[in-house]
Amino acid sequence: MTELDADVLVVGAGPGGAAAAYHLASAGLSVAILEKSAFPREKVCGDGLTPRAVKSLVAMGIPTDEESGWIRNKGLRIFGGGVRLELPWPELASYPDHGLVRPRLDFDHVLVKRAIEVGATLHEHTTVTGAVRDDDGRVVGVTTKDGRTFRAPLTVAADGVSGRLGLSLGVTKREDRPMGVAVRRYYTSPRSNDDHLESWLELRSPDGSLLPGYGWIFGVGDGTSNVGLGILNTTRAFQNTNYQALLDSWLSAMPGEWGYVEDNATGPMRGGALPMGFNKKPHYLPGLLLVGDAAGAVNPFNGEGIAYAMESGQLAAEVAAQALARAEGPGREKVLASYPRRMAETYGGYYTLGRVFVSAIGHPQVMRYATKYGLPRPTLMRFTLKLLANLTDPAGGDAMDRIINGFSKLAPAA
Ligand SMILES: Cc1cc2nc3c(=O)[nH]c(=O)nc-3n(C[C@H](O)[C@H](O)[C@H](O)COP(=O)(O)OP(=O)(O)OC[C@H]3O[C@@H](n4cnc5c(N)ncnc54)[C@H](O)[C@@H]3O)c2cc1C
């Protein structure tokens, strides 16, 4: 069939691909987004957006007011160790003071429509099956299941947690990086308009031991709550977890009037993997830039992936636009090689700290100690919120910001 050309191909139209496509098209480049499904389509998720993600939406010129269908939250409510704590999102110059919730069914569609508005072309029902490479092994296009070939000097791999395009070209999945598994289910609930994201720190396995992870309840604003839980692969329990039983047993302790019971479930429980702390590398192969889950970019501290997919999409677009403004050859390649470096500089040290955190909370004694002695201390918890949600000002911030940024800089970006 016909060959189709663009300046940049974007494989996958999740938040990472849509953000990359938006910023590439805004820089005047022709962009073809190749997406295996068709919108609106579901993506299993908690649907929770911290102020980091809101910032990326603002950068795409997407209105985030309530009239446009968003439900806002002021902060995080935490339950654990017998304590119920409400922590407002920090006041910062770098990030807005609110988060949002929006079901992915709708959210991803809003993002991709925005990329189309600024000139990107979306090809739905287009499953990418492999890369086209030149004689030097450089990626110069992709093939699709229906037999088409798309060609471009650059391709962005935003194909999510499976990350097949990168893997087919030698990107490796690092076993020394944390992985999580998360499940979620929607329930009709009077708590649908909650103005806080809520997290429950005490998840217990059937033998009563504390699990490294947390449960969440996010009001979706449409009469339902998104209720779910995520667990890290740092304990043996991870292999043998019955997620449905764990969800049911956790919810059975909730007040009945919240409505998190079988009869109020609007569909089945669904789940997926969380690739954390850059578990896929390298982030650049000649002609191919990896973003979002395809790059293993989920924050190991809190399991948040949307903001990091959008930020890495934006970063990849900036680098690609600068590279394509140069003639083909070593000068262009030098710009492209800066992408993995910038990813490492931006997130590497913080993710290293995240790995230490993840391995620490894999020990039930540490979890027990943290919930018992940490939660009742509001100042410590405000610090913890900034650390876990990666919300600090790089310059001119407070003492907490300076400590977090200092440690992130000191930690090696391995
Ligand atoms: C249960 C659960 C709860 C979560 N909760 C949250 C949360 O509350 N907040 C948060 O920030 N993060 C959450 N995450 C993580 C978040 O969902 C991901 O990090 C985020 O979706 C990553 O975005 P992405 O664009 O990289 O990939 P995706 O959103 O996975 O998008 C990838 C896209 O690529 C397409 N694709 C895949 N293969 C191909 C192919 N071969 N050809 C063409 N197209 C292809 C897919 O159809 C998809 O549209 C959660 C994850 C899970 C599993």
pLDDT one-digit tens code per residue, 184-202 = 999 999 999 999 999 998 8
- 175: pLDDT strictly greater than 60: yes
Whole-angstrom Cα distance, residue 402 to residue 60? 29
CA 281 to chain centre: 17
| 56 neighbors 310 (Cβ within 8 angstroms) | yes
Say yes or no: CB of residue 272 within 6 Å of ligand 1.
Answer: yes
| 59 neighbors 314 (Cβ within 8 angstroms) | yes
Q: Which residue puts its alpha carbon closest to atom 33 of ligand 1? A: 12
Question: Given this model, what pLDDT does residue 410 score?
Answer: 87
Question: Given this model, what pLDDT does residue 369 score?
Answer: 79
Question: Given this model, what pLDDT does residue 355 score?
Answer: 86
Question: Given this model, what pLDDT does residue 1 score?
Answer: 46
Beta bridge partners of 218: 226
- From ligand 1's centre to the CA of 280, what distance in Å? 15
Say yes or no: CB of residue 47 within 6 Å of ligand 1.
Answer: yes
Say yes or no: CB of residue 37 within 6 Å of ligand 1.
Answer: yes
- The mean pLDDT of 289-304, rounded to a whole number, is 96
pTM: 0.96
- From ligand 1's centre to the CA of 276, what distance in Å? 13
Say yes or no: CB of residue 296 within 6 Å of ligand 1.
Answer: no
Residue of 9, 23, 36 with the most ligand 1 atoms within 8 Å of its CB, for mutation: 36
> For the CA atoms of the chain, what is the radius of gyration?
21
pLDDT one-digit tens code per residue, 128-171 = 999 999 999 999 999 999 999 999 999 999 999 999 999 999 99
pLDDT one-digit tens code per residue, 214-247 = 999 999 999 999 999 999 887 766 677 899 999 9
Residue 366, CB half-sphere, CA atoms under 13 Å: how many?
13
Say yes or no: CB of residue 13 within 6 Å of ligand 1.
Answer: yes
pLDDT one-digit tens code per residue, 4-22 = 689 999 999 999 999 999 9
- The mean pLDDT of 22-51, rounded to a whole number, is 98
Say yes or no: CB of residue 11 within 6 Å of ligand 1.
Answer: yes
Q: Which residue puts its alpha carbon closest to atom 4 of ligand 1? A: 45
pLDDT one-digit tens code per residue, 330-380 = 999 999 999 999 999 999 999 999 888 887 877 777 777 777 788 888 888
Whole-angstrom Cα distance, residue 379 to residue 5? 55
| 29 neighbors 153 (Cβ within 8 angstroms) | no
Q: Which two tokens stand for residue 170?
A: 């030698």
The number of the ligand 1 atom at minimal distance from the alpha carbon of 293 is: 26
Residue of 34, 45, 110, 179 with the most ligand 1 atoms within 8 Å of its CB, for mutation: 45
Question: Given this model, what pLDDT does residue 237 score?
Answer: 66
Q: Which two tokens stand for residue 188?
A: 């009709």
Residue of 306, 388, 390 with the most ligand 1 atoms within 8 Å of its CB, for mutation: 306
What letter does residue 295 receive in the DSSP assignment?
G
CATH of domain 8-70+104-175+276-352: 3.50.50.60
Say yes or no: CB of residue 96 within 6 Å of ligand 1.
Answer: no
- Please tell me whether residue 65 adopts helix, strand or coil conformation: coil
Residue 41, CB half-sphere, CA atoms under 13 Å: how many?
13
Whole-angstrom Cα distance, residue 52 to residue 96? 8
- 2: pLDDT strictly greater than 60: no
Name the phi and psi angles at 61, rounded to 5.
Answer: 70, 30
Say yes or no: CB of residue 309 within 6 Å of ligand 1.
Answer: yes
Question: Given this model, what pLDDT does residue 372 score?
Answer: 79
Say yes or no: CB of residue 362 within 6 Å of ligand 1.
Answer: no
- The mean pLDDT of 99-123, rounded to a whole number, is 98
The number of the ligand 1 atom at minimal distance from the alpha carbon of 272 is: 53
- 34: pLDDT strictly greater than 50: yes
- 303: pLDDT strictly greater than 50: yes
The helix or strand, by DSSP H or E, that contains position 11, with its residue range, turns out to be strand 8-11
Parse the chain into domains and list their residue ranges: 8-70+104-175+276-352
Q: Which two tokens stand for residue 51?
A: 């102020």
| 181 neighbors 238 (Cβ within 8 angstroms) | yes
Residue with tokens 């087919």: 168
pLDDT one-digit tens code per residue, 305-333 = 999 999 999 999 999 999 999 999 999 99
What average pLDDT does the chain have? 93
